Amino acid sequence: MKVIVLFVFVLGALSAAGEDFFAKVAGKVTLKCGVSSYTRSLQWHHGKDLLHSVDQRGFPRKGGVDLVRRSVVRQTNLEISSVTETDAGEFTCSTDGTRHEHSLAVFSVLVSVHPSAVLKLNDEATLQCEVKGQHKGCEVKWKTPNTKSPTDSSTVQLKPVTNSHNGAWECIITCGSNTFSQSLAITVQEPPTTTTKSPSKPDSNSKKTCDTCGNDVASAGLLGLAWWVWVAIGVGCLVAILLMVCVIVLCVRVKRRKKRFLKMKGQQRPRHKKYCQCDHPTAAAKPKQGRRREKPSALPLHPA
């Protein structure tokens, strides 16, 4: 029995006093171990889950929970980023056989204004700062845009809305020495001014303006078209006429060149000689006769 009591007493002596930490969802928090150095080993636990373990040689060993990927050991402190609601709970830092137990409270802040963030003068609105997972030692207050001292309530009634309510409101959460804030922008608009015009009597100037109505209609353009539209139409027609003339001239030139080419080609062809052909039938061939002895030709007569 004495041994058990002595063991519990030793454990109580080895366990140092812890500290309460606070963090906002999606924020960042640093848990201090309580010592600045160690000689043999350093271990961080979240409940019963091992997070990080470092020996005297600096060789690290990590656990397998999700919090390990979002945390890192810097010297002896544990730094957690992208805090979630499941990170809340008890943390233990063990150095050289001494345990330092700490607690982490995680809360989320939701600020809203009803009916909307755009208000008009003399309207009514309600500002709400809702803190989920709030610790008992925390306080919630609203800070107005034009005052330095915050209100003592998490809900603010604006009755009525004035120009001093325009700007950035801030919900401040104070947990011991830790302070967190969440801002909310409110826009105050002035209602539109409506002016009624008294009916005016017709005067001589109205007649002059009516006389110029015809001129205004004429200046608007012929057939409802502006002057530059008619200019564009005229230019387009002129270009079309010029193109037609060019096409006609080209066609005529092509025909002339074709005729000239055919004429030159006809002159180069050789002309065939034409002989006269008689209409009379040809003489019949003479029948062949036997060979006759030719008579000697008469001697010429010489004069005496």
- CB-hemisphere CA count at 13 Å for 166? 12
Q: Which of 163, 189, 215 is the last residue of a domain?
A: 189
Q: Is residue 182 part of a domain?
A: yes
Residues 118 and 177 in one domain: yes
Residues 77 and 117 in one domain: no
Query: Helix (H, G, I), strand (E, B), or coil: what is residue 227?
Result: helix
What is the CATH number for 48? Answer: 2.60.40.10
- Using pLDDT thresholds of 50, 70 and 90, give the confidence band for residue 271: low
Model pLDDT for residues 33-77, shown as the tens digit of each residue: 999 888 889 999 999 999 999 987 778 899 999 999 999 999 999
Q: Which of 82, 107, 132 is the last residue of a domain?
A: 107
CA distances from 292 to 2, 68, 285 (A): 191, 154, 19
Q: Is residue 281 part of a domain?
A: no
Q: Which of 136, 155, 189 is the last residue of a domain?
A: 189
Q: Is residue 255 part of a domain?
A: no
Residues 6 or more apart whose CB falls under 8 angstroms from that of 170 comprise 142, 143, 150, 181, 182, 183, 184
User: What pLDDT shows up at residue 270?
Assistant: 56
Mean pLDDT on 242-269: 86
The closest alpha carbon to 31, from 88, 109, 84, belongs to 88
Q: Is residue 29 part of a domain?
A: yes
Q: Is residue 95 part of a domain?
A: yes
Host H or E run for residue 259 = helix 227-267
Torsion of CA 261, 263, 264, 266, to 10 degrees: 120
- Distance of alpha carbon 230 from alpha carbon 217, whole angstroms: 16
Model pLDDT for residues 167-183, shown as the tens digit of each residue: 999 999 988 888 888 99
The closest alpha carbon to 98, from 18, 7, 4, 13, belongs to 13
Q: Is residue 33 part of a domain?
A: yes
Q: Which amino acid makes up residue 182?
A: Q
Please count the structural domains in the chain: 2
Chain-centroid distance, C-alpha 56: 52
Mean pLDDT on 200-223: 53
| End-to-end Cα separation, the chain, in angstroms | 212
Q: Is residue 160 part of a domain?
A: yes
Q: Which amino acid makes up residue 133?
A: G
Q: Is residue 116 part of a domain?
A: yes
Residue 123 structural domain: 108-189
The encoded tokens of residue 279 equal 């209409």
Phi, psi torsion values for 238, nearest 5 degrees: -60, -40
Model pLDDT for residues 98-125, shown as the tens digit of each residue: 999 999 999 999 999 999 999 999 999 9
What is the DSSP pairing of strand 15-16 with strand 98-114? parallel
- Report yes or no: 170 and 183 within 8 Å, Cβ to Cβ: yes
